[in-house]
Amino acid sequence: MARNEKQRREFDPERQARCLSKVRYESARIARKRAEARGLPLYHYRCPHCGFWHLTKKRVPHAAG
């Protein structure tokens, strides 16, 4: 039972769906440029699902790059 719970947490279908609906950027630099171009306070973060970068309106604590 406990193992099942853990597995479910690691594979988060909701988060993956969010990933699929977002635009992917090859690098943090590109993601940041896009955010600047849109003139919005967007934050970039590395996606654990696809390994690419996404933009979010929420502040990311460890925005690297």
Task: Provide the binding-site residues for Zn ion, judged by CB under 5 A.
Answer: 19, 47, 49-50
Between 39 and 51, whose beta carbon lies closer to Zn ion? 51
Between 26 and 36, whose beta carbon lies closer to Zn ion? 26
Between 42 and 47, whose beta carbon lies closer to Zn ion? 47
Cα dihedral 9, 11, 13, 17 sign = positive
Least CB distance from residue 1 to Zn ion, whole Å? 30
| Residue 62 · residue 43 · CB < 8 Å | no
**At which residue do the structure tokens 């909701």 appear?**
14
State the residue number with the nearest CB to Zn ion.
Answer: 47
Cα separation, 42 vs 32, whole angstroms? 8
